[in-house]
Structure 1
Amino acid sequence: MNDIEALARQKRAELRRLQRELERLEALKNKRLKVTSPEIKDVARTIQSLAKDHMMETEEVLSLVREAIERYPLKGKRGGTLGRVPPKYRNLDNPAETWSGRGRKPRWVVAALEKGLTLDDLRIRD
């Protein structure tokens, strides 16, 4: 009798887990974009507007969009690459060494700060 009760408890727990998983999958399914989604409608209107403004067929614009998506894939969460940033700081002892102010401070910046200089002292003035 104890074995049957233990098996029943185990099956109930498994059923609850499966129900939670089903609810999660249904929520994910409902979250997906559809043809009637406002975002998709906006994209469609934009493509139609581009076609009209440039006196092209909608299919031609769609073809260009597909080609652009293949050529310039989105990267990371930000949706693109940041690219190079011009330097903001220059090493007073060696003007060839510069830093954009992003990422880790170079050793020469750390050394200058330890000497009592400030980042403003190292700033490149145009």
Structure 2
Amino acid sequence: MAVDIKNLNQNQLADLIAKAQARQNELSKERVGKVREKIQAILKAERMTIDDVFPSRGAKPKRTGVTVAAKFRDPANPENTWSGRGKRPRWFNDALKAGKKEKDLLI
């Protein structure tokens, strides 16, 4: 069935394109459904589940934070420490502004 698109006006052409895209989406969904049925049949025949075949599907490995030893200590309050990683704490910046040097704050 050939459609002569040269004789179509803009509205007819837009309608044809919309219908073609809708049909393309239908065909794609049908294909996915058929593939899904085949996979389920294979899994059933082998007495397995999708999780048996793909155990890590959707699961992301957890990142464990590594605790780093403190490198700097606040002379005004020894409980305040900093590892030297990340944003500088306020007490560290205040000590630098007060004239201390980084080496003075080392543990």
Q: TM-score scaled by structure 1?
A: 0.40
The structure showing larger relative contact order (alpha-carbon pairs under 8 Å, at least 6 residues apart) is 2
Structure having the higher Rg: 2
Name the TM-score, length of structure 2 as normaliser: 0.46
